[in-house]
Amino acid sequence: MNIVNQLTLRYMKKNKSRTLVTIIGVVISVAMLTAVFSISSSFMDMMQRNAITYSGKWQAAFLNVTGEDVAVITNTEAIERYDIDQKLGFARLSNSPNSVKPYLYITGHSNHDVVGVSLIDGRLPQNENELALSSEYLRTAGVSLKVGDVVTLNFGDRSLNVDGQSETLGDNDVYQSKEVFTPTKTKTYTITGIVQAPAKEQEVMAAYRAFSGLSEGDLEEGSPYTVSVEYKDFKGLGNDIYETSDAIASKVSGVKDQVKSNGVKIKYNRDLLLYSGISNDSHFLNTMYLAVLSVGIIILIGSVSLIYNAFAISLSERSRTLGMLSSVGATKQQKRASVFFEAAVIGVIAIPAGLFFGSIGIGVTLHLLSPFIQKMLFVSEPIRLVIEPYSMIAVVLFSILTLLISAWLPAVRASKITPITAIRQTKDIEIKGKDVRTSNMTRKLFGFEAELGLKNLKRNKHHYRSTVFSLAISVILYLAASSFSLYMDKSYNMAQAPLPYDLSVNARGADLERVRSLTNELMSVKNATTKVKTQLIGADLILNENEVTTDISSRHTLNPDGKYFMSADIVSLDEASFAAYLQSAGIDAKKLEGDEISAILVNRFTLKEEHNFTDISQLTVQEGSELPLTLNEGAKVRIASITDKHPPFMLRYQEYAFTVTFVVSERDFDKFRERGNAMLSEQVTSEVQFTTEQSAALENEINPIINKYPDVHVYTNNLIEERKDAMNRATVTSVFLYGFVVLIGLICMANIINTISTGMALRKREFAMLASIGMTPKGMKKMLRFEGFFYGMKSLIYGLPISLCVMFFIYKSFSRNFEFAFTVPWADLIIAGLGVFFIVGTTIFYANRKYKEYSIVNSLKNENI
């Protein structure tokens, strides 16, 4: 180590507080970079695992491969593992008690692990005579089977007779009570295991999933198979995975009678590939990388400001020493290297510490927020800390770049210091009278001490600007974060349908009486504040031009017959709710008496079109008018009353302008249903809506009732949980957003403390001189206070207008999709202002305490700057 570097190290030890503040600033910036890269990699890891849970580990699947061509794919060098899948179709137990999902949908597999089938009990099937049942089937289908049981299943085809023609039903068709199951063969299986099927495999609408084994040696020629593959080092392949898959597919032909443009069809596990950084649509990945880069640039700006300022102050303090070394032969390279050596020492200490604290901090944060993140993103896998070597290398390189950029200009200045310049110390005091000129109003308003303080700031422009910049950045970031949080909350609330209940139970079934029995029992629960039972059936309306308003005609087009085609929701309310609705709308119940089906037309509501909200009406008909419905022959509804009053089930706004709402009594709803065709009852949707203050107790009361009706399709919508999810979203966003702002604020604060406190230390002789000519301690304190006041005011003068521009930009970004007024967060503005003066005031107070420890005589004698 040469003499110049030894002196640099000694100087850093002597100025421990300044060195420590600089190291802390670098540690924070490195920790932030570590956190940003770790969040990115941890998020991608969570989404990868979620994609595997949802659909399996395979990256590409070759569909409709003939049995004789399967080996061409499986023997390919690039493939590590594979699963051969054969669709065996729908099967049912002869005594299956479940009338909602009476089928099993069975597929045979050579390697269940590739497609994400996970074992719960027993073992996976190894041949075509063994079967694994999904845990969901055993839990909800009403059968009592276990590992080791032997079952006989009837395989067959599903069909539905529509207008005298038989239509085949497939994987995506829901079960219908009128459908016909035609057995084609019988097969006996031994149950070897209970498994958890991938979420995607549970999407067969009318059936539970079951998995059989498949022997590679017994593949049938000409039969269709699906080959799902895992590539060797697929992340290393990158986007070449698409070209590789095309090349494999080109070697084989599809099943006969399958029209394919290029051999077999290829299906990709796009979610898994996307979250592994592979996509032929790079929009998401570009957005992700841009977000990380943007945050990195902000950290870079804040860090460079702090570290550059520290090196510049260091150079000012050591200029005489460097000049003296120059006079005894130190070269430009040695002087420049001394600044880089100081940066290297700081980096050696701060970078490992930043990596450690950043990893620990973000690891704890992700662990605590994992349940909220899972609910927010609707994923099944928890987020965990993932530290990728490449990311950490990027952080280290980015941190080194920050130190080099920060040290570059001070290093260049150091190399240019000459002995005579250093001895004269003129470089740091090259100012003219006009540079420190102040307004006469300053002395008149605030006194001589304030004027002197302002002159001091003008004289030390570098320190002054650095401090103001740091304070302004802190203000801008804080207000940007608060406005982003505010507008995000408003946007989220607007995006959510304003449902008028806390919890609802939706029910449908082939047997309407069973559905009604269920909803009647639900209306008897005790832990609900209000209860509303509805029945809904959809119908069609064909209207003349003169029967619709301009609100509809301006949005709708006539059909070739010169009519407007619209739909109608005919909704009944339970007796108590219907009576209450009539009273609130001021409608005489006698208007609805008679043999006709009488309805109340809700003819005005708020329409939401993208981000625009408009009050519209739909029909121009009068009370007493009769409107024909095309649901069945002769069906019509009489308009007994027209109102703007919304019934209790209706939302505050609608997103579709062409659905007309008719409210009827339960008596008239039954009339309408009885006059329809036989299948009309199956189209009725029943719902019970609750408001409650005891959601847990209400659910505990509802669930046993629902379980008594396994033959009814039931869907429960708990808005209380959704509202909690909304709060979780806000919590997660706020933690990361404000955490980022706090850390950037700490960097800025370190810069401010470093600049002001070091500046005060450099002015010891100045303070001693002022004291020697009669300035009292009170006057000195007043001068320093006004310096802090001017720091704060200048930073707010710059920071607040820029913050308002940033807030408006954020508002405009949100207003592209959501319409709300621009809001200024006045409370946050006040907090920002108070925070600025608190930071400056605290630092000035500390500096003033240090000043009291100085001896006037010793300070005047001291020639070191």
Q: What percent of the chain clears pLDDT 90, i.e. is strictly above it?
A: 16
Work out the number of other CB atoms within 10 angstroms of the CB of residue 80: 12
Q: For residue 472, give both structure tokens.
A: 């302004």
DSSP string, 800-840: HHHHHHHHHHHHHHHHTT--------HHHHHHHHHHHHHHH
- What pLDDT is attached to residue 86? 92
Average pLDDT over every residue of 359-378: 80
Highest-scoring range by mean pLDDT, 133-137, 167-171, 604-608, 788-792:
133-137
For the chain, what are the domain ranges?
Answer: 1-55+270-425, 57-268, 431-497+720-865, 530-691
Q: Backbone phi, then psi, for 738, in 5-degree steps?
A: -75, -30
- What pLDDT is attached to residue 533? 93
- What pLDDT is attached to residue 518? 92
Tokens 């009990």 correspond to what residue? 121
Q: How many CA atoms lie within 13 A of 192 on its CB side?
A: 15
370-416 confidence digits (pLDDT tens):
887 777 666 778 888 888 888 889 889 888 888 888 778 777 777 77
Q: How many helices and strands, by DSSP H and E, does the chain display?
A: 24, 23
Q: For residue 787, which of 454, 335, 349, 394 has the smallest C-alpha distance?
A: 454
525-577 confidence digits (pLDDT tens):
988 888 999 999 888 888 888 888 988 888 888 888 888 888 888 999 999 99
Indicate whether 864 pLDDT > 50. no
Q: How far is CA 535 from CA 292, 521, 605, 638, 667, in A?
A: 51, 15, 21, 19, 11
Average pLDDT over every residue of 45-73: 88
284-324 confidence digits (pLDDT tens):
556 556 656 666 676 666 667 666 666 666 666 666 666 66
E-assigned strand segments in 243-338: 265-268
Is 668 or 331 the better-scoring residue by pLDDT?
668
191-213 confidence digits (pLDDT tens):
999 998 886 666 667 788 899 99
DSSP string, 53-112: HHH-S-SEEEEEEEGGGHHHHHT-TTEEEEEEEEEEEEEEETT---SSS-EEEEEEES-G
Kind plus residue range of the DSSP H or E element containing 455: helix 448-459
In angstroms, the CA 66 to CA 255 distance is: 5
Out of 123-132, 475-484, 632-641, 643-652, least confident range? 475-484
- What pLDDT is attached to residue 488? 67
Helix axes 461-495, 826-852, angle to 10 degrees: 150
Q: How far is CA 797 from CA 588, 665, 752, 803, in A?
A: 64, 65, 17, 10
- What pLDDT is attached to residue 56? 87
Work out the number of other CB atoms within 10 angstroms of the CB of residue 263: 18
Chain-wide mean pLDDT for the chain? 79
In angstroms, the CA 772 to CA 782 distance is: 17
- C-beta separation of 498 from 824 below 8 A: no
Q: Backbone phi, then psi, for 710, in 5-degree steps?
A: -70, -15
803-838 confidence digits (pLDDT tens):
888 888 877 766 655 556 787 888 888 888 888 888
- C-beta separation of 614 from 606 below 8 A: yes
E-assigned strand segments in 699-755: 713-718
- What pLDDT is attached to residue 206? 79
